[in-house]
Amino acid sequence: MPISERVKKLKSSATIAISTKSKEMQAEGIDVINFSIGEPDFQTPQNIKSAAKKAIDENYTHYTATAGMLELRNAICGKFKKDNNLDYCPENIMVSSGAKNCIMNILLAICNYKDEVLLPIPFWVSYYSQIIMTDAIPKFIEPEGDDFKISTKNIEKNISSKVKAIIINSPNNPTGIVYTRMELEEIAKLAIKHDLTVISDEIYEKLIYDKTEHISIASLPKMKARTVVINGVSKAYAMTGWRLGYAAGPEKIIKSALKIQGHSTSCANSITQRAVISALLEKDDSVEKMRQEFEKRRNFLIEKLNSIPNIKCAIPKGAFYAMPNVSYYLEQNKKGVKTSANLCDFLLENYHIALVPGSAFGIEGFVRFSYANSMENIKKGVKRFEKGLKNLLD
């Protein structure tokens, strides 16, 4: 059976491998604490579920417009105006089966064979694979300093005539960092100077802490015309399984991406689309309650991690991830645990905690914790983490 060269270049997902292994261990009766989860451990708010049930009863069960129902796209435009002070019209919006699907459609719409896409390290795993799937080339940008942010110097070093776009993800998976207005202004200047399209993934916008301000790079002067904003409901409304994301950008790019969508998925799920209209238009405090709970967990986890000898963890300002630096333990142990992947295996097998190695996100010397887990499990799990690290050096 022939397999394409494109697919041969793809790596299978490290997060799925870890999650599968920890589920197998749980099935054997082992109490594994799973810190590798990439979705909120909350339920979809009731008003959204009711809207979906109503949608079925009212027979919203057919194909919709490829770009999504007009009423939904209007609601999305309203969200952009309210949250980001961005003026879009429905022609600027594409509703897809998840933010992941939006990014794929946009990359396919803008990239040619061997074009380059700037990808800051550490990166969410699917960006890398999706760039490969479009036959473009990911061009990595090294982070600078302890907070993982990219500098304009490192961006500029990688710019050539082949570079088409840059991906910005703030709040970030896997680090939780959030770019400030000033930092985004610097990136914007470069995007304008080098005529780059910016793909700005803002899916964790609603999960943001310490009263940090979320800025959409599209809202900066002259940026709306060259930015595609990616957002969705998976993280904000605990709707990962409903599969709906949306992109907002220049009509020419959205129209082109819709050609791809029209011939691949046709449109996002019609029932979900109706439910998301309710999510965006109706007031409900469950999103804020979820955010507050994440903030409590983050505060606890970061304090505990930073109290472990020789562990340093940058304070995440958003999302539900933390990336402590574990390089001291990798360098000092005599048990052959040399990489972040070795460490994750060691901790899963011996201390029954599932973490994702930094190498999955393009960076060594770090592991990713997801705090989409109960406070009780976080307390137990972080103790196991500390014990495991101590044991490595014994």
Ligand X SMILES: Cc1ncc(COP(=O)(O)O)c(C=O)c1O
Q: Which residues of this protein are in contact with ligand X, per CB under 6 A?
A: 38, 98-100, 124, 169, 173, 201, 203, 232, 234, 240, 245
CB of 245 to ligand X, least distance (A): 4
**Residue with nearest beta carbon to ligand X:** 98
Nearer to ligand X, 240 or 306 (CB): 240
Q: Write the DSSP assignment of 259-315 as a string of letters.
A: HHHHHHT-SS-HHHHHHHHHHHHS--THHHHHHHHHHHHHHHHHHHHHHSTT-B---
Q: Which residues contact 352 (CB under 8 A, 6 or more apart)?
A: 25, 30, 31, 32, 33, 384
Nearer to ligand X, 237 or 346 (CB): 237
Identify whether the C-beta of residue 244 lies closer than 8 Å to the C-beta of residue 74: no
CB of 102 to ligand X, least distance (A): 8
Nearer to ligand X, 38 or 381 (CB): 38
Identify whether the C-beta of residue 104 lies closer than 8 Å to the C-beta of residue 124: no
Nearer to ligand X, 320 or 351 (CB): 320
Q: 247 forms bridges with which residues in the sheet? A: 94, 230
Q: How far is 278 from 284, CA to CA, in rounded Å? A: 10
Which letter does DSSP use for residue 92 in this model?
G
CB of 124 to ligand X, least distance (A): 4
SS3 235: coil
CB of 178 to ligand X, least distance (A): 13
CB of 169 to ligand X, least distance (A): 5
Q: How far is 8 from 168, CA to CA, in rounded Å? A: 27
CB of 51 to ligand X, least distance (A): 18
Which letter does DSSP use for residue 325 in this model?
B
Nearer to ligand X, 130 or 333 (CB): 130
Which letter does DSSP use for residue 378 in this model?
H
Nearer to ligand X, 170 or 333 (CB): 170
Nearer to ligand X, 99 or 229 (CB): 99
Closest CA to 76 of 258, 297, 247, 303: 247
Nearer to ligand X, 44 or 173 (CB): 173
CB of 203 to ligand X, least distance (A): 4
The label of the residue with tokens 């310490």 reads: 210
CA torsion, points 81, 84, 89, 92, in degrees to nearest 10? -170
Q: How far is 284 from 323, CA to CA, in rounded Å? A: 31
H or E segment to which residue 94 belongs? strand 93-96
CB of 173 to ligand X, least distance (A): 4
Token pair, residue 11, equals 């790596």
